[in-house]
């Protein structure tokens, strides 16, 4: 019984991390129709930036802020300088994001080295809490709470603001939205910045659980892709539910069937897509 409870908590924590990564990926994919293959690299770079801030003696929350700002600004630069020049050429944009991912990975390896680097959780979130006769790490519970706060913040942004209305309209029908005056160019920059910032936040939040190491991007990007495809393009609800669903499938699959972990992960996705090609919450997009 204790195994199932502890593993369920680990699955929830992984789901929370995946949501911060996949939510931005889903918005970018849904709005710009770009499979941003550098998104995992932003996640890893956010973890490394936060690591440097923590090792410099600053607080974990300052590390989170530094990761969000740094990776968000990097996203703006990439969108304005590279992706905007390739507008209308989806293949070139995807290849460009793949190249950016390799550049970030090599630069991170050169600057921070190839050894795994642990990151300590904030002192007040260290230790565990007794629940049902078991000790649960407080930080993992905090990660789940953090993901829910991010989800509520994104929901408020998308549902209660003018910017959110423009984003949702452009995801549903980009040509029609542009026809009624939605500033697509500015919107692309904002969404790409937001998506990259969320990836940076996910990286530093995940660092005390996963540690930081070369290849972290390659480990996390396939999971984010599965979440986005499973949940549906541009769907916040799909990203949220899909993240926790994949968190459970992947965590239990690795423990119970380590040799079949990826089969267990991708097989349900293939079955769902065969029944519902647009994903669980996807809509017909123009």
pLDDT in tens, 170-227: 766 667 776 777 777 788 888 889 999 999 999 999 999 999 999 999 989 988 888 8
Average pLDDT over residues 53-82: 93
> From CA 114, how far away is CA 128, in angstroms rounded?
31
pLDDT attached to residue 237:
84
pLDDT attached to residue 24:
86
Is residue 286 predicted with pLDDT exceeding 50?
no
* Residue 271 within any structural domain of the chain: no
Q: How far, rounded to the nearest angstrom, does the alpha carbon of residue 125 sit from its chain's CA centroid?
A: 22
Q: pLDDT > 70: what percent of the chain?
A: 94
* Residue 29 within any structural domain of the chain: yes
Is residue 285 predicted with pLDDT exceeding 70?
no
* Residue 150 within any structural domain of the chain: yes
| Tokens, residue 269 | 């996705």
Phi, psi of 234 (to 5 degrees): 70, 10
Instruction: Report which of residues 132 and 58 the model is more confident about.
Output: 58
* Residue 281 within any structural domain of the chain: no
Tell me which residue range forms the domain holding 136: 19-213
Instruction: Say whether 74 sits in a helix, a strand or coil.
Output: helix
> From CA 29, how far away is CA 77, in angstroms rounded?
18
Instruction: Say whether 202 sits in a helix, a strand or coil.
Output: helix
Q: How confident is the model at residue 31 (pLDDT cuts 50, 70, 90)?
A: confident
Q: If you average pLDDT over each of 68-77, 87-96, 161-170, 221-230, which comes out highest?
A: 68-77
* Residue 257 within any structural domain of the chain: no
Q: pLDDT > 90: what percent of the chain?
A: 38
> From CA 223, how far away is CA 226, in angstroms rounded?
5
* Residue 221 within any structural domain of the chain: no
Is residue 284 predicted with pLDDT exceeding 60?
no
* Residue 142 within any structural domain of the chain: yes
How many structural domains compose the chain?
1
Whether the full predicted model's pTM is greater than 0.85, yes or no, is yes
* Residue 123 within any structural domain of the chain: yes
């Amino acid at each position: 019984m204790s195994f199932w409870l502890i593993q369920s908590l680990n699955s929830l924590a992984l789901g929370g991390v995946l949501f911060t990564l996949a939510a931005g990926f889903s918005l970018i994919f849904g709005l710009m129709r770009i499979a941003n293959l550098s998104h995992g690299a932003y996640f890893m770079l956010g973890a490394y930036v936060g690591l440097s801030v923590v090792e410099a003696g600053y607080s974990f929350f300052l590390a989170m802020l530094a990761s969000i700002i740094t990776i968000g600004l990097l996203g703006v630069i990439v969108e304005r300088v590279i992706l905007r020049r390739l507008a209308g050429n989806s293949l070139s944009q995807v290849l460009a994001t793949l190249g950016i991912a390799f550049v970030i990975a090599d630069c991170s390896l050169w600057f921070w080295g190839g050894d795994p680097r642990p990151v300590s959780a904030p002192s007040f979130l260290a230790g565990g809490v007794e629940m049902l006769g078991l000790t649960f790490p407080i930080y993992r519970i905090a990660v789940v709470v953090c993901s829910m706060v991010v989800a509520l913040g994104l929901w408020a942004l998308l549902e209660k603001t003018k910017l959110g209305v423009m984003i949702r309209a452009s995801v549903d029908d980009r040509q029609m939205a542009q026809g009624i005056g939605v500033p697509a160019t500015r919107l692309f920059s904002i969404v790409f910045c937001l998506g990259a910032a969320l990836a940076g936040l996910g990286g530093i939040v995940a660092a005390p659980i996963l540690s930081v190491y070369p290849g972290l991007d390659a480990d996390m990007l396939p999971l984010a892709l599965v979440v986005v495809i499973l949940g549906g393009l541009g769907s916040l609800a799909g990203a949220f539910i899909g993240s926790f669903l994949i968190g459970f499938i992947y965590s239990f699959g690795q423990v119970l069937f380590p040799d079949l972990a990826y089969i267990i992960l991708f097989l349900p996705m293939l079955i769902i897509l065969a029944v519902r090609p647009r994903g669980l919450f996807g809509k017909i997009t123009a």
